[in-house]
């Protein structure tokens, strides 16, 4: 009799877990499916090669927005990845317990939770107003600020996973602390650190709010990094809120491309760094 | 060749705990010296002072002197000292990102040796000394962590030998291994005695009796008794040593 109740309870709990998992998957596949359904129709070669057409005209593409997103994500990565990884190394390897590192860690956690639009406003005030114009640099900088705390945290977590005995083994061989970190600890954690960086790239690729006040957007090619520049998320936002049906179509296509971009980065993060010795 | 060590009034703290309370001890060259004693008696701290590893942990402090080759180790650069005083840890800890070959030569390579042929020669010589060469010579580029526990520990010994130390510290090197792997390690220690001064921490008194020339008994951070192994085990001078080796406590 007792067994019967136990098995029933087990069945019940298992059903609840399965149900929760299915519920979690519904919006994911819902969004993917909906974007695929609406976006595939509008996606063609023109989308990748042409500039946007004037208001209300059909055709045209988002070539400038795709390139703009790539440029700003590149700028953000060039700033955010080195700063984030080096700060993460400092916090785990050189200064784990002081008030300074505790404060930095706390600030990092707060920064991770700050709505990205606030980063946009800050860069607008601090950079755009000072330089007198919207620019790819300002946009890239805003994205870098969102990336840095993510990368610091992931780098820290990955380095903490490297057992202390590995570091001691390095010291015990007469290897200096710097070389132990560079040649032994970092390679051990490399896979995780790179995955963390890739996920941070994926995360900022879709950011819209911080770009509204910094990169602004552009219907044409930007001629330099010091000019307003188009980006996929902002372009999608502007097209989706316009009254034109053709532009709605393009916004769907843009969404699909953005999602594909993020999926590709995620997959790359997963497969990029397989260990050399299997 | 091995070197003699003189330890004088060595005291060490870990946080507020005084783990070594004034150790005076002479460690003979080309001898195997076993350190025995119950858990928490300071024997690990003691060997970790000899290669200045203890002080790398936060909240630690050491005073006193350890004289190696006429010079206090506290006057030397710790990184340089650790090339003379090698160490093997309780748990095998090969570098996970490196192959077997890279593990063995890590110490020499990261200290500047780049010549491929030299590295090959060092790897083979060290692996032979650690009695591991025949088992791994065909798969030197496999990951170091693909080996069994006993092989990993011999890999760590080979890695320590590659740096050509004069003193080898072993902190319970066989306690995580099965009996066969333990026998391998013990044979190895016996062979290494001719060229190295070996200090081995062990929980296993039979092991100390099998391999050590002299044995030191630590208790509560003090060196209770140190003498020839046969003396310590058959005719201990101190009542506490006798109680410990006859299994009355610890």
Q: What are phi and psi of A144, to 5 degrees?
A: -60, -40
User: CA of B93 to nearest chain A CA: how many angstroms apart?
Assistant: 6
Residue A172: inside a domain: yes
Residue A38: inside a domain: yes
> In chain A, positions 141-180, which contact chain B (CB-CB < 8 Å)?
163, 165-166, 168-176, 179
Q: What number is the ipTM of this complex?
A: 0.92
> Which range of residues forms the domain containing residue A35?
2-42
Per-residue model confidence (pLDDT) at position A133: 93
pLDDT in tens, chain B (250 residues): 678 899 999 999 998 999 999 999 999 999 999 999 998 899 999 999 999 999 999 899 999 999 998 899 999 999 999 999 999 999 999 999 999 999 999 999 999 999 999 999 999 999 999 989 999 999 999 999 999 999 999 999 999 999 999 999 999 999 888 898 899 889 999 999 989 999 999 988 999 999 999 999 999 999 999 999 999 999 999 999 999 988 877 5
Contact yes or no for B146 and A277 at CB 8 A: yes
The reply to whether A12 and A52 lie within a common domain is no
Q: In this structure, what CATH number is given to the domain that contains residue B199?
A: 3.40.50.300
pTM of the predicted model as reported, rounded to 2 decimal places: 0.88
- 10-residue averages of pLDDT along chain A (278 residues): 88 97 94 92 88 78 93 97 97 93 95 94 95 94 97 96 95 96 95 92 94 91 92 93 89 94 86 56
The whole-angstrom separation of Cα A64 and Cα A80 is: 23
Contact yes or no for B143 and A175 at CB 8 A: no
- The residues of B whose Cβ lies within 8 A of any Cβ of A are 51, 53, 56, 58, 79-83, 86-87, 89, 91, 93-99, 106-107, 110-111, 141-143, 146, 156, 159-160, 163
Q: Answer with the one of A10, A25, A42 that is the final residue of a domain.
A: A42
The reply to whether A28 and A65 lie within a common domain is no
Nearest CB to A169 within list B56, B95, B146: B95
Residue B11: inside a domain: yes
Contact yes or no for A166 and B96 at CB 8 A: yes
Residue B81: inside a domain: yes
The reply to whether A38 and A175 lie within a common domain is no
- Residue A270: strand, helix, or coil: helix
Structurally, chain B folds into a number of domains equal to 1
Per-residue model confidence (pLDDT) at position A265: 87
The reply to whether A24 and A151 lie within a common domain is no
Q: In this structure, what CATH number is given to the domain that contains residue A137?
A: 1.10.3720.10
Question: What are the angstrom distances between the C-alpha of B16 and each of B21, B59, B61, B147, B155?
Answer: 13, 8, 10, 40, 36
> Which range of residues forms the domain containing residue B28?
5-94+164-245
Contact yes or no for A275 and B80 at CB 8 A: no
Q: Of A255, A246, A267, which is closest to residue A69 (Cα–Cα)?
A: A255
Structurally, chain A folds into a number of domains equal to 2
The reply to whether A224 and A256 lie within a common domain is yes
Give the chain A residue nearest B94 (alpha carbons): A166
The reply to whether A149 and A189 lie within a common domain is yes
Contact predicate A256/A32, CB 8 Å? no
The reply to whether A63 and A165 lie within a common domain is yes
Residue A178: inside a domain: yes
Residue A278: inside a domain: no
The reply to whether A53 and A28 lie within a common domain is no
Residue B230: inside a domain: yes
Provide, as residue numbers in chain A, all residues whose Cβ is less than 8 Å from the Cβ of B98: 184, 187
The reply to whether A113 and A166 lie within a common domain is yes
Residue A94: inside a domain: yes
């Amino acid at each position: 009799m007792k067994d019967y109740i136990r098995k029933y309870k087990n069945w019940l709990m298992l059903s609840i877990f399965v149900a929760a998992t299915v519920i979690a998957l519904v919006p994911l596949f819902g969004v993917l499916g909906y974007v695929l359904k609406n976006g595939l129709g509008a996606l063609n070669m023109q989308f990748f090669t042409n500039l946007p057409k004037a208001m209300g005209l059909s055709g045209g593409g988002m070539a400038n927005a795709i390139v703009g997103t790539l440029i700003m994500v590149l700028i953000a990565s060039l700033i955010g990845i080195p700063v984030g990884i080096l700060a993460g190394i400092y916090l785990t390897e050189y200064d784990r317990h002081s008030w300074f590192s505790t404060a930095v860690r706390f600030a990092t956690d707060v920064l991770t939770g700050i709505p990205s639009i606030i980063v946009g406003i800050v860069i607008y005030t601090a950079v755009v107003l000072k330089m007198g114009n919207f620019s790819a640099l300002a946009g890239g900088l805003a994205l870098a600020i969102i990336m840095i705390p993510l990368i610091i945290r992931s780098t820290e977590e990955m380095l903490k996973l490297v057992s202390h005995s590995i570091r001691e083994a390095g010291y015990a061989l007469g290897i200096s602390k710097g070389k132990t970190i560079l040649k032994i600890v970092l390679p051990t954690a490399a896979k995780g650190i790179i995955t963390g960086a890739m996920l941070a790239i994926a995360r900022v690729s879709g950011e819209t709010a911080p770009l509204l006040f910094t990169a602004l957007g552009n219907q044409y090619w930007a001629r330099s990094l010091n000019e307003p520049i188009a980006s996929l998320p902002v372009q999608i936002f502007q097209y989706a809120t316009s009254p034109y049906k053709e532009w709605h179509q393009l916004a769907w296509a843009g969404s699909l491309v953005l999602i594909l971009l993020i999926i590709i980065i995620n997959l790359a993060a997963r497969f990029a760094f397989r260990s050399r010795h299997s | 060749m091995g070197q003699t060590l003189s330890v004088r009034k060595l005291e060490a703290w870990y946080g507020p705990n005084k783990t070594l309370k004034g150790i005076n001890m002479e460690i003979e060259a080309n001898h195997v010296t076993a350190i025995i004693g119950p858990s928490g008696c300071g024997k690990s701290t003691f060997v970790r002072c000899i290669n200045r590893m203890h002080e790398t942990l936060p909240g630690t402090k050491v005073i006193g002197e350890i004289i190696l080759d006429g010079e206090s180790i506290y006057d030397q650069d710790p990184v340089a000292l650790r090339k003379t005083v090698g160490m093997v840890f309780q748990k095998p800890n090969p570098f996970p990102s490196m192959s077997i070959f890279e593990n063995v030569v890590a110490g020499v390579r990261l200290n500047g040796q780049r010549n491929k042929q030299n590295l090959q020669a060092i790897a083979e010589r060290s692996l032979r000394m650690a009695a591991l060469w025949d088992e791994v010579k065909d798969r030197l580029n496999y990951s170091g962590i693909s080996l069994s526990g006993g092989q990993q520990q011999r890999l760590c010994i080979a890695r320590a030998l590659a740096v050509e130390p004069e003193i080898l510290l072993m902190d319970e090197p066989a306690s995580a291994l099965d009996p066969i792997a333990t026998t391998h390690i013990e044979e190895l220690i016996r062979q290494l005695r001719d060229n190295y001064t070996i200090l081995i921490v062990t929980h296993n008194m039979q092991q100390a009796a099998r391999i050590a020339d002299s044995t030191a008994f630590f208790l509560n951070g003090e060196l209770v008794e140190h003498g020839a192994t046969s003396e310590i085990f058959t005719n201990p001078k101190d009542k506490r040593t006798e109680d410990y080796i006859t299994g009355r406590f610890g």
